[in-house]
Amino acid sequence: MHPFQYQRADSADQAVAAVAKTPGATFIAGGTSHVDLMKEDVHHPSLLVDVSALPLKQIAAFEGGVRIGAGVSNTAAAYHPDIQAKYAAVSEALLAGASVQIRNMASMAGNPLQRTRCPYFRDPAQACNKREPGSGCAAIGGYNHVHALFGASAACVATHPSDLAVALAALDARVQTLGPRGPRTIAFPELHRLPGNTPHLDTVLEHGELITAIDLPAFAGRSHYLKVRERASYAYALVSCAVALEMDGPTIRRARVALGGVAHKPWRVGPAEALLAGQLPTEQLFQAAAKAAFADAQPLEHNAYKIPMGRNLLVRALLETSGLQPLQGPAGTAFAASVGGVAGQLATPR
């Protein structure tokens, strides 16, 4: 591990100023992802500014919705009664991620900022434009089974790993930040970037810009998160989806759908949302929406299996969210399966 300096911030203003004025500086909260990258010789910060002691650990009602402080742990948010009752997809996504020990440490701001699990990114011996701009991309032409179907570029085909981010994108969450130029609000679907020619930049956050809270706007419908992974726990999504349905009697008034594990950012699928709005929920409708969601997918050499898997997962999520099919597994937990088991069935076209 490279030498670095460490500083504990007493206020958000102080933290922002310290990072903003120091090239190579970064914030650290739970450290559950960041420290791994430092130990793996992937990230070499000059200065870590510790924001874990800042008073950003409240979950409170806000403008008809909920405001979650940036420093709230993933565990505290997952089991908060308002989040479980009104934003089930958020709770389910959090409980589908990592281990209990990591959820206890990881913060709500840090979770959506975790970096890709592309294996070449985490191996300094491999070419990787995200880790070292201009060095190339070993995944293109390599073993790219966990990589992107949408929005990739000739420089990077990585996917974003956060489960929580997918649920927040579907629920139109907003990110509150404090930066060197003051506070601002970012719509969650705009937080992450596509790779383009600058895959080393994951988000639109500026150097020294600190997330202070995540707002969940008022929502009177049902939401749900489902994930398929290579083993039943402590694994990242091959494909996931978050669905938020608002009903008008028996009719779907508004639908929001975000996919995970398929792009450099949580992937909202407008065509599927438009197909669902104003319709009565049926399996036939959900099949059509799932087909529309993946119509523009551009598979790589080893990841075409994600298309039928994602379609089938989305149909299942819509059936469960609309009540046409009972929830699978214990209430409040996300579905997960090994590739050889139920996930293998999900990968079968139908």
Question: Angle at CA 158, nearest 5°, toward 110 and 227?
Answer: 65
Residue 118 near ligand SF4 by CB under 6 A:
yes
Residue 18 near ligand SF4 by CB under 6 A:
no
Check if the beta carbon of residue 281 is closer than 8 Å to that of residue 322: yes
Q: Could you give the string, one character per residue 196-225, with x where binding to ligand SF4 holds by CB under 6 A and - elsewhere?
A: ---x--------------------------
d(CA 210, CA 203): 12
Least distance CB 129 / ligand SF4 (angstroms) = 4
d(CA 88, CA 73): 17
d(CA 93, CA 97): 7
User: Candidates 112-120, 186-194, 283-291, 300-308 — which segment interacts with ligand SF4 by CB under 6 A?
Assistant: 112-120
d(CA 142, CA 154): 13
Q: Classify 273 as helix, strand or coil.
A: helix
Residue 129 near ligand SF4 by CB under 6 A:
yes
Residue 286 near ligand SF4 by CB under 6 A:
no
Closer CB to ligand SF4, 120 or 150, in the complex: 120
- Interface with ligand SF4 (CB under 6 A), residue total 14
Check if the beta carbon of residue 140 is closer than 8 Å to that of residue 120: no
Closer CB to ligand SF4, 70 or 139, in the complex: 139
Q: Classify 346 as helix, strand or coil.
A: helix
Task: State which of residues 47, 48, 49, 156 lies at the interface with ligand SF4 (CB under 6 A).
Answer: 156
Q: In what order do the strands lie in the sheet with 25-28?
A: 5-8, 47-50, 25-28
Check if the beta carbon of residue 295 is closer than 8 Å to that of residue 323: no
Closer CB to ligand SF4, 71 or 260, in the complex: 260
Residue 139 near ligand SF4 by CB under 6 A:
yes
Which residues ranging from 290 to 349 are in contact with ligand SF4 (CB under 6 A)?
none
List contacts with ligand SF4 (CB under 6 A): 116, 118, 120-121, 128-130, 137-139, 156-158, 199
